[in-house]
Amino acid sequence: MNLKSKFVPAILAAALSLGAAHAQQPIPIKFSHVVAENTPKGKGALKFKELAEQKTGGRVKVDVYPNSSLYKDREEMEALQIGSVHMLAPSVSKFGPLGVRQFEVFDLPYMFPDKATLYSVMDGPIGQGLLKMLEAKGIVGLAYWDNGFKQMSANKPLRSVESFSGLKMRIQSSKVLEGQMKQLGAIPQSMAFSEVYTALQQGVVDGTENPWSNMYTQKMHEVQKHATVSDHGLVAYAVIVNKKWWDGLPPDIHKALQAAMAEATKYERDIAQKENDDAFEKIKAAKTTEIYVLPAAERLVWQKAMLPLHQQYEGVVGKDTIQAIYKTAQDVAKARK
Ligand code: LMR
């Protein structure tokens, strides 16, 4: 047997084992987001990682990059579209720059009276129709997550609508939120979430709006002397993936990831309220920020002041959509009786 033929089996075995090793390499999934790990979205992402790796028997490996550690607001959407990252869970207030402003219906102040209405809209034809609109942008929407109601904060008391006059207020990149702050007489300043703490600390902006979990985990309470319990709006997320990547996954992996997402979504929504309640208690305990609970009568004044925005933005979010959400809220209230 010539020397060469002696090596053929060894080379073949090496090639096969290399192929086998390559075949066993888990599919990498990069999941980037902008909030701290100890928040509803941060914990939801880690729960998805756990379930996805478990349900695929280790055939995927999810790496979660929290707190803008990989990409910050604007960057992350671009990174998803070019496939540099596979998954995001941005606030639905941030799809305007992508050209899908209809998501800003979720930004309309006092639009959702309770979580039952919110979830019914998210999981029903309105929410699913909005996710479908992302496909033209090379994005697939998998689910909606929740981070509860927003509260107002600033370095002066926010007791009446007039309190906002002339204040520079940070907002997410949403035309509706711009309109909201202008309606209150404030000056809206859109900026990335990762820049808010420094902007508040340096006085670049006077105040902002957040759910308690974001305010606390970004230490914004340390640079905000006053906060008002207003529940005037909410932070909702769309969990999205790069369409080309998603469509290219094997069917069994698809199925397992969808099951993992369904369970992670239930988990995230189940913990959202408590995470925010706990954060509120920690802010109160820190004694850095005077907390004012808007009395019911004053809340009605705030609601009345902001209601014109619903009509003003019909052209952006859709009059039928607004009417359908009002109807959903009524149906939820009726079902509760
Ligand atoms: C914000 O930018 O205020 C929020 O969208 C951050 C987040 O993702 O909760």
Report the separation in Å between the CA atom of 193 and the middle of ligand 1, taken as the mean of its atom positions.
6
Q: How far is the CA of 194 from the centre of ligand 1 (A)?
A: 9
Q: Report which ligand 1 atom has the smallest distance to the Cα of 192.
A: 2
Distance, CA of 242 to CA of 95 (rounded, Å): 15
**Does residue 1 lie within any of the structural domains?**
no
Residue 212 lies in a domain: yes
Residue 1 has pLDDT above 60, yes or no: no
Model confidence pLDDT, tens digit, residues 54-71: 999 999 999 999 999 999
Q: Is residue 2 part of a domain?
A: no
In a domain? residue 216: yes
pTM greater than 0.85: yes
Give 8-51 pLDDT, tens digit per residue: 566 666 666 655 555 679 999 999 999 999 999 999 999 999 99
Given a contact cutoff of 8 angstroms between Cβ atoms, the answer to whether 330 and 129 are in contact is: no
The reported pLDDT for the residue numbered 336 is: 87
- What whole-number distance in Å separates Cα of residue 235 and Cα of residue 331? 23
171: in domain: yes
Tell me the pLDDT band of 245, cut-offs 50, 70 and 90. very high
- Look up residue 189 and give its two tokens: 């300043």
Total domains in the fold of the chain? 1
Is the backbone of residue 122 left (phi > 0), alpha (psi -120 to 50) or beta?
alpha
* CATH number, domain with residue 273: 3.40.190.170
Pocket lining: 238 vs ligand 1, CB cutoff 6 Å? no
Q: Look at residue 282 and tell me if it is in a domain.
A: yes
CA angle 67/69/75 to nearest 5° reads 95
> Is 268 part of a structural domain of the chain?
yes
Distances (CA, A) of 153 to 56, 113, 164, 227, 330: 44, 21, 10, 4, 30
CA of residue 164 to ligand 1 center, whole Å: 21
Ligand 1 pocket check for 67: Cβ under 6 Å: no
Which residue has the least CA distance to atom 2 on ligand 1? 193
Q: Which atom of ligand 1 is nearest to the CA of 33?
A: 8
Exposure string for 229-257, b = 16+ CB within 10 A, e = fewer: ebbbbbbbbbbbbbbebbeebeeebeebb
Among 71-75, 99-103, 116-120, 304-308, the minimum mean pLDDT is found in 71-75
C-alpha 327: how far from chain center: 25
Q: Which domain holds residue 89?
A: 7-336
